[in-house]
A and B are shown apart, each in its own frame.
With several copies, the nearest count.
Chain A
């Protein structure tokens, strides 16, 4: 069983890396790039974990406890 978790900065939280990449792309000639925000994707391989609701709620916990920094990031879980 596989899951994919997206962790992205909350709106309004400064993203210096995104800004540097945007600047880099513009100076390389990609002037259409107006903003870049960088997030993380976790591809997670799970042992069979019973009912989907349980799997989801455990993934939710993992995100809150470890994968995302809830002070500045939010997350989204997809079961594949």
Chain B
């Protein structure tokens, strides 16, 4: 029988496996002998950046991961946070950047598939998806096709699975021309006493393979995701993983059905580096060894060899460990759902991960050698040269820029995207895409989960510490604007090549900024993912920590909206702001997008504002005190006002025609609107948070800074920009 172990290992072969000469020497040292070819493949994926976090591990330890609600922090497939009354939320965000650049539809689709599996592996039924997307310049020849493909891929997978995609974000920048970012987030709900872990239990337990058969998909996907792109990488690409959301829907239902009983000891999805990393991770967590009989693995193609079976990234597969004697339960459930199911091995007591092929041993490596002994680097860091300050901007009539900014690719309406996502399936979505945060109720309870994803690579680039802290604050502010309290954060750290000291510095500073803000705002980081080497031909992406924050709201479904209705009084909450233009959308429109420092965060102000918003939104005996809440972020006060007018009702507001006042992006501020008779109640609930009445809603014009804009025209500009760019403006979104 051909095992794939007969190929010689030359320095070229080692290099092709993404191991540096030093790393190969380390491998020889810890293994104490030459690896077989199969084992080399196993090391190449287990020691890849993607699986081992070798460049990032030491930094991630600085994040706050504990809190009174945290049931499971980083280290499992997804983190879990207690919601009370026997419920818990399980969530994680993950990147699928490199595969999506190569094949946007399948790359994005399988990204969604992967994050869904991470969540239902834990026993949670997924209730919401989000997507955080970055693309190159709109005018770059590849951008349109990437947007179309990625969005269709996310839709294709999430819609078929019947999980609503309720929020997301889409930004464009030249730094993403050669590396788009596709970060997918999933949250599920699980009974807090029925959480499943990826572990092994005792020796003698049986290892089952369930789901789709294994083919030659994505072999070396994990190592691909860990190297820089360069000229020609589009040609050399390996077999693309093709997603099958239908199989995954069956896998979801079958797993949750089997989880009703107590047959399962441990369960782990096969993601990057497939069978290898899932089995090694389980053995590592269980502190055991594992024997896999690779010839028993269900195969989709003929002639597959152990090397391929171990490295394949075929989708929609899981490993399950059960106690002996429970086999028939597993077979019954998976056969009911027409899925492959096979017993492929068992848990052993010697701490060694072994694979056999028709009785012949093809790999035998101590688990600790693959996991704990993996290289960890404290890579050199170097702060880059200081950036130029933001020059003075001469602009006689800043307010006149509003329509231009509304048509900006980052600001314009993204209905074209989210209408392709089924955001209502499940009949729990009470706040849909387009709001500050989305909200999904949990049927049969008063609990609601709120979701937001936010990241501003431009501000992080200007100052990774402050920029990242600002993003955490903004996420929490968005949740407060729908009345929710943050309970956890998942992050996806998208950066360039960590072997460059300036990139490593960005990474480390960004982690520290996140850590500080999360501590200050009481938001534990419960899961996340790191995607490095997002560079093409030496050009790195903007440092982009993708953040996904989850909030909890309890009570009657909130009635707050982000759209004005007639006859409301509008106030600006928080400090008036210093007119902070560096890092703003406005400054970018003058070409100053790599200038100055981003706005600082004042945590005390921020917390007081969020608490006040939650008090204002909670439906008291007389209903909520306010009708509208909307946070100030990109585009500052004027963009926030304009967005509140998109429902068709305008208003007249007292703001000076001054760029800083109109477009400054200072943190810690939000707009509210309420019926004038509620003014006193609102004031009492503010408990000292500064507020300034800006004016009244009503009419069909936005009157501000000495100008009047017809709301229908603003809306047309805002709504049409994105579809016009994609489709030539021939179709409605």
Interface residues of A (CB under 8 A from B): 12-16, 19-20, 23, 69, 71-72
- Chain A, residue nearest B338 (CB): A23
A-B contacts, 10 of them at CB < 8 A, read: A12-B239, A12-B301, A13-B217, A14-B242, A14-B300, A15-B242, A16-B244, A19-B244, A72-B106, A72-B242
Q: In the complex, given contacts A14-B241, A16-B247, A71-B103, what are 4 additional A-B residue pairs having Cβ atoms less than 8 angstroms apart?
A: A14-B215, A19-B244, A72-B240, A72-B242
- B400 in contact (CB, < 8 A): no
A43 shortest CB reach to chain B, Å: 15
Q: How far is the CB of A63 from chain B (nearest CB, A)?
A: 16
What separation, in Å, do the CA atoms of A17 and B124 have in the docked complex? 28
Rounded to whole angstroms, the CA-CA distance of A66 and B106 in the bound complex is: 17
The distance from the CB of B313 to the nearest CB of chain A, in whole angstroms, is 11
Instruction: Please name the residue on chain A nearest to B248 by beta carbon.
Output: A16
Residues of B close to A16: CB separation below 8 A: 242-244, 246-247
Contact call A14/B314, Cβ cutoff below 8 A? yes
A69 to B102 CA separation, bound complex (whole angstroms): 11
Return the contact of B215 from the options A12, A20, A23, A69 (Cβ within 8 A): A12
Closest to B245 in A: A16
Q: Would you call A71 and B217 a contact (CB within 8 A)?
A: no
- Distance, CA A6 to CA B185, complexed state (A): 37
Query: Which positions 95-129 of chain B face chain A at CB distance < 8 Å?
Result: 102-103, 105-106
Smallest CB gap from B107: residue in A: A71
- Identify which of B105, B216, B243 contacts A12 (C-beta below 8 A): B216
- How many chain B residues touch A (CB < 8 A): the figure is 20
**Residues of chain B with a CB closer than 8 A to A12's CB:** 215-216, 239, 301
A28 to chain B, nearest CB (A): 12
A4 to B475 Cα, complex, angstroms: 53
**For residue A14, which residues in chain B have a CB less than 8 angstroms away from its CB?**
215, 217, 241-242, 244, 300, 314
Chain B residues with CB below 8 A from A69, complex form: 103, 105
Q: B237 interface residue, CB < 8 Å from A?
A: yes
Q: How far is the CA of A34 from the CA of B199 in the complex (A)?
A: 37
Question: Which residues of chain A are within 8 angstroms of B239 by Cβ–Cβ distance?
Answer: 12-13
Using a CB–CB cutoff of 8 Å, the interface residues on chain B facing chain A are 102-103, 105-106, 215-217, 237, 239-244, 246-247, 300-301, 314, 338
Q: Which residue of B lies closest to A69 (CB)?
A: B103
Q: Which residues of A contact B102 (CB under 8 A)?
A: 71
**How far apart sit A15 and B217, CA to CA, in the bound complex (Å)?**
11
Docked Cα-Cα span, A12 to B215, in Å, equals: 7
User: A69 to B106, alpha carbons, bound, how many Å?
Assistant: 11
Complex CA distance for A13 and B216, rounded to whole angstroms: 8
| Residues of B close to A13: CB separation below 8 A | 217, 239-240, 242
Taken together as a complex, chains A and B put the C-alpha atoms of A14 and B248 apart, in Å, by 14
B237-A71 in contact (CB<8A):
yes
Bound CA span A60–B355, Å: 46
- Chain A positions within 8 Å of B216 at CB level: 12
Bound CA–CA A16/B246 (angstroms)? 8
Interface centre among A15, A16, A19, A72 (most CB of B within 10 A): A16
B334 CB, nearest partner CB in chain A, Å: 15
Cα of A21 to Cα of B681 in the assembled complex, Å: 59
Partner of A20, one of B237, B246, B300: B246
CA distance A13 to B300 in the complex (A): 10
Q: How far is the CB of A76 from chain B (nearest CB, A)?
A: 21
Residue of B nearest to A23 (CB): B338
Q: 8 closest A-B pairs (Cβ-Cβ)?
A: A16-B244, A14-B242, A71-B103, A12-B216, A72-B240, A14-B215, A71-B240, A14-B217
Provide the residues of chain A in CB contact with B217, threshold 8 Å.
Answer: 13-14
Contacts of B242 in A (CB 8 A): 13-16, 72
CA distance A69 to B244 in the complex (A): 18
In the assembly, what is the distance between CA of A12 and CA of B102, in Å? 17
Nearest CB on A from B597, distance (A)? 42
- In the bound complex, how far is the Cα of B311 from the Cα of A67, in angstroms? 31
How many Å from the CB of B260 to the closest CB on chain A? 26
Nearest-CB distance from B210 to chain A (Å)?
Answer: 16
Chain B residue at smallest Cβ distance from A20:
B246
Tell me how far the C-beta of B300 lies from the nearest C-beta in chain A, rounded to whole angstroms. Answer: 7
Q: How far is the CB of B212 from chain A (nearest CB, A)?
A: 8
Question: In the complex, what's the smallest C-beta–C-beta distance from A60 to chain B, in angstroms?
Answer: 17
List of B residues within 8 angstroms of A20 by Cβ: 246
CA gap between A51 and B677 in the complex, in Å: 80
Please give the distance in Å from B545's CB to the nearest CB on chain A. 29
Q: How far is the CB of A48 from chain B (nearest CB, A)?
A: 18
Residues of B within 8 A of A23 (CB): 338
Taking the closest CB of chain A, its distance from the CB of B152, in whole angstroms, is 12
Residues of A within 8 A of B243 (CB): 16
Q: Once bound together, how far apart are the Cα atoms of A68 and B122, in whole Å?
A: 39
Expressed in whole angstroms, the minimum distance between the Cβ of A14 and any Cβ of chain B is 4
Q: How distant is the Cα of A71 from the Cα of B105 in the complex, in angstroms?
A: 11
CA distance A12 to B304 in the complex (A): 11
Chain A hits for B246, CB < 8 A? 16, 20
| Listed residue (B217, B239, B247) with the most chain A CB atoms within 10 angstroms of its CB | B239
Name which residue of chain B comes closest to A71, CB basis.
B103
Q: Which residues of A contact B237 (CB under 8 A)?
A: 71
Taking CB atoms, residues of chain B closer than 8 Å to A19 are: 244
C-alpha gap A71/B238 in the complex (Å) = 9
Within the complex, what minimum Cβ distance (angstroms) separates A11 from chain B?
9
Chain B proximity of A42: nearest CB distance (Å) = 18
A19 to chain B: closest residue by CB: B244
A14 to B240, CA, bound (A): 9
Instruction: Quote the shortest CB–CB distance from B486 to chain A (angstroms).
Output: 38
A15 to B242, CA, bound (A): 8
A72 to B110, CA, bound (A): 15
Q: Which residue of A lies closest to B234 (CB)?
A: A71
Bound-complex Cα distance A13 to B315 (A) = 12
**Bound state CA distance, A12 and B105, in angstroms?**
18
Q: Which residue of B lies closest to A12 (CB)?
A: B216
Nearest-neighbor residue (CB-CB) of B315 within chain A:
A14
Cα of A15 to Cα of B212 in the assembled complex, Å: 12
Distance A71 CA – B98 CA, assembled complex (angstroms): 14
CA–CA, A13 to B242, complex, Å?
7
Shortest beta-carbon distance, A37 to chain B, in Å? 12
Q: Which residue of B lies closest to A27 (CB)?
A: B728
B residues in contact with A72, CB < 8 Å: 103, 106, 240, 242
Cα–Cα distance between A19 and B250 once the two chains are bound (Å)? 14
Min CB gap A17→B, angstroms: 9
Shortest CB distance B53–A (Å): 28
CA distance A34 to B216 in the complex (A): 19
B314 — which chain A residues lie within 8 A by C-beta? Answer: 14
- The docked-state distance in angstroms from the alpha carbon of A17 to that of B242 is 11
Residue of A nearest to B105 (CB): A69
